[in-house]
Amino acid sequence: MRFDRQSGVFAHVASLPGPHGIGDLGSGARAFVDFLRDAGQSLWQFCPLGPTSGAHGNSPYQSYSAFAGEPTFVSLERLAERPWFDDADVPDDPGFDSHRVAYDRVREFKREALRTAFECFRERADDDERERFAEFREREAGWVEDYALFRACKAEFDGAAWADWPEPIRTREPAALDRQREALADDVAFNAFRQWLFDEQWRDLRAYAADRGVSLVGDLPIYVALDSADVWATPAAFDLGPDRQPAAVAGVPPNPGDDGQRWGNPVYDWEYLRETGYEWWLARLDRLFDLVDVTRIDHFKGFDQFWAIPADAESPAEGEWRDGPGTDFFTTVERELGDLPFLAEDLGFIEQRLIDLRTRFGFPGMRVPHYADWCTADSRDKPENFPEDAAAYTATHDTDTTVGWYRDLPERQRDCLHYALSTDGEEIHWDLIEAVWNSNAILAFTTMQDLLGLDSHARFNTPGTAEGNWDWRLTREGLDDDVAERLRYLTDIYVR
């Protein structure tokens, strides 16, 4: 797909302003879209939208489903506009911090509120509303029924991973599943109901953004969590052993100075997927593009080659490179789904075969100035060296904020940075935004933290750590008119 020269802002949904302890799909999201419009931005990028858990540190990259939406994003404000639910039905708000997400408390509160909404729906909804819910379940039956049953079983078994469930349910014996569906019918319907609410509110928000010239940029993690409805419901798509435990897990090999990484996600059985015409992946992408206009592919390298670590290995170094599906996969997707509006996260992997795969299909790669050697003229991550086929970022969800990064720069790098950007560093966040906006990169992104000049306390995620991530929030005051005007000015003069 050929992109226009554009720019946008990264802010995850959970980070948006709003009541009830977490960003949601209500007035705060609309206020953020209005901010983007006023700032002249045409792209809003966010993390994956799937349901998260405290067991995985609330990471949106370790979700219970590659198809479902996070139910805590459902707006109770918007829900109160429905004829069968009003403000009086909302449980008392215990009081939440507007600057941080307290995930456990938010989940408990939202679950109680949405359970009340479900009871109100069953008692008061008219025939049209009931039909819309039934139509959603029929339309999305390929994933929502398995997901709803997965979450119901998980609650029934006190939150245990599916690999620890009783064998006939773990191995999906048809008679056992039928018994579970009957016994847990109320919870299954409730889980489907929450997905229906998310789906309807998301589609309304997407239409609101489109009316204001803002396209939505999603995120596609290449791997899914082992404890997910995806692996439980479609085990053949993954490299599992006879006991349905991973034979190999994903990660990356050691680099100079580190021991590599073991992510623990099951790797795919690409031979099986190829034989089935990538049916599971096509369904996943079809669902994703029901929700977003463009998507970033996380760990694009895995489609070319992936590091497979034996499940019983003690070290990531014991893994091996295996060939991914490569050209065949993207050719199939393009034939079945049309244009491929993908951005490729190719950070850290610069092999020619990966570049060839990315450029063959016209996917912009990523460039981040935080990774530049500012004292080397041809450093690939200096904005002056960005190619046109790039999506350039002042910072990402995995880096420090620009102000935090700048404060930790070695003195020589800082001096070279000052020279390269003709700055004294007083407003380094705006200096870097301007350099990225002025670059040749076809797409330019910044974060809300960088627009506001926030330091490391606003960092969104620190890879390799399990706590204190994903919880930063933007307040309404952060949607500042002066900030929007300044960003619009840069966007106009650099023709984005």
Backbone angles phi, psi at 115, to 5 degrees: -65, -40
Distance in angstroms (rounded) separating the CA atoms of residues 433 and 450: 8
Distance between CA atoms of residues 465 and 381, nearest Å: 25
Which entry of 227, 298, 346, 431 is annotated as an active-site residue?
298
Six token digits for residue 64: 């219970």
Contact 431, 406 (CB under 8 A): no
CA–CA distances in Å: residue 272 to residues 5, 53, 101, 228, 459: 39, 30, 40, 19, 40
User: Which residue is catalytic, options 345, 400, 434, 450?
Assistant: 345
Residues 65 and 245: beta-carbon distance below 8 Å: no
Considering only the C-alpha atoms of the chain, give the largest distance between any 2 of them, rounded to a whole number of Å. Answer: 70
What span, in angstroms and rounded, lies between the C-alpha atoms of 37 and 209? 9
Q: Which of 398, 415, 455, 480 is catalytic?
A: 398
Helix (H, G, I), strand (E, B) or coil at 106: helix
298 flagged as catalytic: yes
Separation between Cα atoms, residue 100 and residue 432, nearest integer Å? 26
Length of the chain (residues): 496
| Residue 267 neighbours by CB under 8 Å, 6+ apart | 223, 238, 239, 246, 248, 249, 250, 306, 308, 322
Would you please indicate which residues are annotated as catalytic (active-site) residues?
Answer: 298, 345, 398
